[in-house]
Amino acid sequence: MCGIVGYIGRQEAQSILLDGLKKLEYRGYDSAGLAVYNGETIGVKKKEGRIVNVESLLEEQSLLGSVGIAHTRWATHGKPSDRNSHPHMDHEDKFAIVHNGIIENFLELKEELQAKGHTFRSETDTEVIAHLLADAYNGDVVETVQHIVKKMEGAYALAIMSEYEPDKLVAVRLASPLIIGVGEGENFIASDIPAILKHTREMVILEDGEMAVLTDDQIQVMTTEGEKIDREPLHVDWDIVTAEKDGYDHFMLKEIYEQPKAIRDTLTGRIKEGIVDLASELTLSQAEMEQIDRIHFVACGTAYHAGIVGKYALEQLTRIPVEVDVASEYRYRDPIITERTLVIVISQSGETADTLAAMREAQSRGAKVLAITNVVGSTIARDADEVLITSAGPEIAVASTKAYTSQLVVIYQLGLYLAHIRATQPRTEIEKMVEELLSLPLKIEEALKGADILKMLATELARHNNLFFIGRGLDFAVALEGSLKLKELTYIHSEAYPAGELKHGTLALIEEGVPVISLATQAFTYDKMVSNIEEVKTRGAHVLGITTAGSVDLQRTADEVITVPQTLPLFSPVLTVIPLQLLSYYACIARGFDVDKPRNLAKSVTVE
Ligand code: F6R
C-alpha cells in the first residue's frame, strides 16, 4: 500500500516526483524518498516521517536531473526508519529501485547475495532486488530485469533506474498495481492515478507479469518473458477527488472493495508448508506459547467486535480460556492477570487512547501484550511486546471495514499457529483450515456481487428509525458489528441481540414492520435460529436473512434472503459482514449523510 512515482523527460524530475508523492500522502505514510540521475550518478534523498521531512533535505541540497523515481512507504516489514525508506540501491550504487509489495523469499536471496560479497544497508525485503540486479547485470537492463524477476516470489510493483542506462526507466508488475502515464516528450510511472493526473490523462495499465520500458519519447510494454504487447492508453477523465478514491464515490466503498486484496496481503508470507508460521514475527518462545493459560482480547468499537470473534476462534482452536473486554472498562475492573496471561490488543490505528491505557495496565501487571494493528510505527505497535500487522493498507473512512476483516484473518492465523505449537488440532485439520483461509479473498469477491440487491434493500431500510440484528454464536458477534456500522453511518437506532435472548425482554419491542436482520450461518444452531426468526415474524417483524448458499429453511421463513458463499463456520464472519457493510453504506447514501465522516466521530480516538 505504498506509493510509487517515476518520471523521465525534459523537466526537472524532483518537483514532479515530490508533487506526485504529495498527491498520495492523504493515505498517510511513514517515510518518503527520491532518486534522481544527475548526469553522472544517481543521487538519493530519503527520510522517515512525512514528505515535508524529505522536502527539507531537498531544500538544503536539490537533486538535479530529469530522470527519477520516488516512493512513500506504509511499513509492513521492517520498521519506519531512514534506512528502511525507499529508494534502495545495490552496494555499488548502480541501480536504484522503489517497490510496493512483499518479496517472500528475500531471506534466501539475501543469504545467497551476502555469500557473494554484497553488503546490505536496510532490514527490508526490497533491498534484495537492487542487489539481484547488480549481481545479474549483463550489459542490458531490460534483460537483467527479466532474468531476476524469475527468482523473486511474492508481489511487486517496481520502478527501476540504472546508472548504466540512465536514459530509461523500467516498470514491472506482479500482484500490485502500476500504471504508466503517457506524456509528450516525457513519461511517468505511478502506483496510483492521482500522482500523475496533473500531467497526463492517458494511462497504460500494466497487468500482472508485464513490464514497461520508458524513455522520454517512447513506452514499450511487454511481458516479463519479453513478448511485446500493443496496448492503447486509457483516457482517464476523473477529477482529482474521484481519482483519490480510485473512481469509487467514497473511501468507505473503495475500502469495502479492497477487502480481497487486504486479506491476500495479510495472508502473504505467513503460510509455510501448508500451515501458519509466525515464527519470524513473534519473539515468544515455544515454552512461553505452551504456558499461556488465559487470553484477554482488549479493544474498542469494531476492533472489540473482532475480539469477540477472536474468543470463539481461539477457544475452539487452542482450548485456552479467552475473555474479551472493552478497553475503556478493562483497566478499571481489576482483571486477573498473571505472567501466563496473553493480552491481545487490537487496534487499526495503533493510537487509540483507551486501548493504549489498557495495554500499559496489562504490562504493568506482568502480562505479555501482543498487538494486532494496521500501523507499524504506531505507539501500540512500538510499545507492545509482540506485534502482528494487518496488511490492510491505510483506512481513511471513519467506519472501519477492511481493517476488521484483516483483524479477523490475523486472529485465525494466530489461532492456527498456537493450535499447531500446542498440538490442540491435528496437522491435517490445520492444513484444511489454512486452505479454506486462502480461499476467502475469492469468496469475498463473490459476496461483493450482491451489492445491487443490497442497495435496493438499504433504501427501504433507511426509512425506519429502529431495527434489530440477531444471531447466535459467531453470527451474534457479526450482528454486533453490523449494528454498529448501521448506527454510525445512518444514525438509525439499532440493537444486536443473541437470538435466543430476545424473548427475555427485548421481544416486547418487535411490532408490525420492524426490520430484523437475522444472521444464520452456523450449522450447529441453525434450527434454533430459524425458530427465533419465526418468533419475530409472528410479532410482525420484517426479516432480512443472511445465510450461506443452499440454506433452504431460511428462504422459506425470512422475507428476503441474502446468501454468502459457504465456508467453515469459524470463518463465516469474514463473509457475513460484507452484506452488512454494504447495507449500511447504501442506507447512509439513501438518508443523505456523509459516508466517510459520520457526525461526532473521529478516525483515531486519542482521548480516554
Ligand atoms: C467503527 C470504528 C471504531 C474503531 C474504534 C477503535 O467503524 O472504526 O469503532 O474500531 O474506534 O479504533 P482502533 O481500531 O483504531 O483502535
Residue 498 belongs to domain with CATH number = 3.40.50.10490
CA-closest candidate to residue 300, choices 281, 277, 325: 325
Same-domain check for residues 196 and 312? no
- 294-299 and 341-347 strand pairing: parallel
Boundary of a domain, candidates 238, 260, 279: 238
Residue 599 lies in a domain: no
* Binding pocket residue ranges, ligand 1, CB within 6 Å: 300-303, 347-349, 352, 355, 399-400, 484, 488, 604-605
- Ligand 1 centroid to residue 384 C-alpha, Å: 18
Local confidence band at 602 (pLDDT 50, 70, 90 cut-offs): confident
Residue 470 is assigned to a structural domain of this protein: yes
Do 272 and 295 share a domain, yes or no? yes
User: Domain ends where: 204, 238, 272?
Assistant: 238
Instruction: Say whether both 283 and 226 belong to one domain.
Output: no
Amino acid 434: pLDDT? 98
Residue 439 domain-assigned (yes or no):
no
271 and 180 housed in the same domain: no
- The answer on pLDDT for 240 being more than 90 is no
* Pair (296, 334) in one structural domain: yes
Q: Which residue among 252, 256, 302 is best mutated to probe the pocket of ligand 1, counting the most ligand atoms within 8 A of its Cβ?
A: 302
Write down the number of H helices and E strands in the chain. Answer: 20, 27
* Residue 597 within any structural domain of the chain: no
Residue 434 lies in a domain: no
pLDDT at 553: 78
Domain count across the chain: 3
Q: What is the mean pLDDT of residues 393-408?
A: 95
Average pLDDT for residues 129-154, to the nearest whole number?
A: 97
User: Which of 580, 605, 608 is the pocket-test mutation for ligand 1 (most atoms within 8 Å of CB)?
Assistant: 605
Q: Do both 364 and 263 map to the same domain?
A: yes
Find the farthest-apart pair of alpha carbons in the chain and give their distance in angstroms, rounded. Answer: 81
> Which is more confidently placed, 234 or 241?
234
Q: Which residues of 324-348 are buried (b: 16+ CB within 10 A; e: fewer)?
A: bbbbbebbeeebebeeebbbbbbbb
Same domain, 326 and 374: yes
Contact 521, 574 (CB under 8 A): no
Which atom of ligand 1 is the closest one to the Cα of 303? 10
Q: Give the ligand 1 atom nearest the CA of 604.
A: 15
Please identify which of the residues 2, 254, 261, 311 carries the catalytic annotation: 2
Q: Are residues 234 and 248 in the same domain?
A: no
> From residue 476, how far is each of 38, 454, 470, 533 by CA, in Å?
61, 20, 6, 14
Q: Residue 545 pLDDT > 70, yes or no?
A: yes
pLDDT score for 409: 98
Percentage, residues of the chain above pLDDT 70: 99
Q: How far apart are CA 17 and CA 170, in angstroms?
A: 16
Residue that has been written with the C-alpha cell 540521475 in this structure = 37
Residue 67 binned pLDDT confidence (cut-offs 50, 70, 90): very high
Residue 333 in grid coordinates = 475492573
Cα of 440 vs centre of ligand 1, distance in Å, is: 23
User: Percent of the chain, pLDDT > 90?
Assistant: 84
CA dihedral 596, 600, 601, 602 (to 10 degrees): 100
Residue 80 has pLDDT above 90, yes or no: no
**Angle made by CA atoms 26, 373, 81, in degrees to the nearest 5:** 65
In the reported structure, the alpha carbon of residue 600 is separated from the centroid of ligand 1 by a whole-number distance in angstroms of 13
Bridge partners of residue 158, in order along the sequence: 99, 172
* Ligand 1 geometric centre to CA of 327 (Å): 11
For residue 118, how far is its CA from the centre of ligand 1 (angstroms)?
44
Residue nearest to atom 3 of ligand 1 (CA): 301
Q: Are residues 376 and 259 in the same domain?
A: yes
Give residue 349 CA to ligand 1 midpoint distance, Å: 8
Going by alpha carbons, the residue nearest to atom 5 of ligand 1 is 301
Question: In the predicted model, is pLDDT for residue 471 greater than 90?
Answer: yes
Please report the pLDDT score of residue 1 as a whole number. Answer: 65
Query: What mean pLDDT, rounded, does the chain reach?
Result: 94
- CATH code assigned at 234: 3.60.20.10
Q: Is residue 54 part of a domain?
A: yes
Q: Is the pLDDT of residue 175 over 90?
A: no
Q: Which atom of ligand 1 is nearest to the CA of 485?
A: 7
Identify which of 326, 347, 376, 400 to mutate to test ligand 1's pocket (most ligand atoms within 8 A of the CB): 400
Question: Which of 250, 346, 352, 581 has most ligand 1 atoms within 8 Å of its beta carbon, as the pocket-test mutant?
Answer: 352
Length of the chain: 608
User: Do residues 191 and 286 share a domain?
Assistant: no
Active-site residue, selected from the candidate residues 151, 487, 597, 603: 603
| CA atoms of 555 and 283, how far apart (whole Å) | 49
Q: Please name the residues in contact with 575: beta carbons below 8 A apart, sequence gap of 6 or more.
A: 440, 443, 444, 447, 521, 548, 564, 565, 567
Residue 441 in domain: no
Q: What is the pLDDT of residues 558-596, one digit of tens each?
A: 999 999 999 999 999 999 999 999 999 999 999 999 999
pLDDT 10s digits, 274-333: 999 999 999 999 999 999 999 999 999 999 999 999 999 999 999 999 999 999 999 899
Give the pLDDT score at 37. Answer: 98
The stretch 121-134 carries a mean pLDDT of 95
274: left (phi over 0), alpha (psi -120 to 50) or beta: left
Query: Does residue 147 form part of some domain?
Result: yes
Any catalytic annotation for residue 2? yes
CA of 604 to the centre of ligand 1 (A): 7
Predicted local distance difference test score (pLDDT) of residue 185:
97
Do the Cβ atoms of 308 and 472 come closer than 8 Å? Answer: no
pTM of the model: 0.85
φ/ψ of 391, rounded to 5, equals -100, 55
CA 464 to chain CA mean position, Å: 33
Q: Whose C-alpha lies nearest to ligand 1, atom 6?
A: 300
Which atom of ligand 1 is nearest to 380's Cα? 16
E strand or H helix at 34: strand 31-37
CA angle 224, 100, 571 (to 5 degrees): 105
Domain residues for the domain of 222 are 3-238
Nearest Cα residue to 430 out of 568, 315, 281, 274: 274
Checking if the pLDDT of 399 tops 90, the result is yes
CA angle 448, 454, 458 (to 5 degrees): 140
Are 304 and 378 within one domain?
A: yes
Domain endpoint, select from 201, 218, 238 = 238
Check residue 237 and give its pLDDT.
81
Q: Is the pLDDT of residue 92 over 90?
A: yes
What's the rounded mean pLDDT across residues 24-36? 87
- The burial of 104, by beta-carbon neighbours within 10 Å (0-12 exposed, 13-18 middle, 19 or more buried), is given as middle
226 with 293, same domain: the answer is no
